[in-house]
Amino acid sequence: MPKEKSRKTDKAKSGAKQPAAKRRDVKHSDESGSSRRTLVIDVGGSGIKATLLNDLGKAVSERLRRDSPASGMPGAVMDIIIALANEFETFDRIAIGFPGVTINGIVKQAPNLAKEWQGFNIAEILQARLNKPVRVANDADVQGFGAIAGNGVELVVTLGTGVGTSLFMDGRLVPNLEIGNDKLRNAALQKVGKKRWNKRLIKFINRLEEIFHYTKLYIGGGNSKEVDVGLLPANVTIISNLNGLIGGIALWRDETAPISVPAQPVETTATGRPLAA
């Protein structure tokens, strides 16, 4: 699994060319024989992550991370995305997982960010600034693409600053599904503690089972590490946050040969406790 690094980007001196060593260079042809690279950005409430994938959904660079700006304003978030993109030597296209409802690259709502996001055209602005084609989807939808097997009814729940959800039927996405539970937000976890929060989670899971009769439920997000796995039903699995990046290749599925990306298993401690990526 590629190692994620978090570091501040040095500002280049005025008029000076940034040294090549500062950028994350990627071979023009990896071992799979695929040369096309997709820059995938996962925008979260606490962190923004980036990596490069080949057409098979395999990471061909290290992962980078920056803290999300406290303001949550569009300009501040976009500046971080641009800075991350500039860390990589070359890429052909961009996929963005965004924490809110997006339609045709335009934000309709972003409950965990600033209100100024409403109506903001992420795809158009990024395409103009980076001169690369851009596609955007809800972050839970992207994570779902990275986790699902593509069989039956599969549901994904992401637990972090907020609660995201995505629903798939035989691998086909029902986009922008918003059935999160405010009582499972990070603020609620900090207020009531893990024991009570886990009881709420199991109640939520049981309710989802009653509504969707899902084949499989996947739980990801930064707070997935707080889940008491001993309470989970057999058809519920904790997944790595890496899926929020590798699922980005699915946004360009119509231009790639593979139709699925294998889910990344979550890392665990010696006692079997999940470690969130």
Q: pLDDT tens digits, residue range 24-70?
A: 554 444 444 457 899 999 998 889 999 999 988 889 999 999 999 99
pLDDT bucket at 6, cuts 50 / 70 / 90: very low
**Close Cβ partners of 225 (under 8 Å, ≥ 6 residues apart):** 273, 274, 275, 276
Classify 245 as helix, strand or coil. Answer: helix
- H/E/C letters for each residue in 74-102? HHHHHHHHHHHHCCECCCCEEEEEECCEE
Hey, which of 28-37, 94-103, 255-264 has the most confident mean pLDDT?
Answer: 94-103
Global pTM reads: 0.75
pLDDT bucket at 152, cuts 50 / 70 / 90: very high
Sheet containing 47-53: order of strands: 4-6, 63-67, 47-53, 38-43, 93-98, 134-138
Classify 153 as helix, strand or coil. Answer: strand
Q: Which helix (H) or strand (E) holds 198?
A: helix 194-212
What is the set of domains in the chain, with CATH numbers?
23-139 (3.30.420.40), 143-246+254-275 (3.30.420.40)
Instruction: Tell me: pLDDT of 258 over 50.
Output: no
- Report residue 153 as tokens: 């009814």
Q: What is the pLDDT of residues 261-275, one digit of tens each?
A: 334 444 444 444 444
269, exposed or middle or buried, with CB in 10 Å at 0-12, 13-18, 19+? exposed
Q: What is the pLDDT of residues 8-21, one digit of tens each?
A: 444 433 344 444 43
Mean pLDDT, rounded, of the chain: 83
Instruction: Tell me: pLDDT of 257 over 70.
Output: no
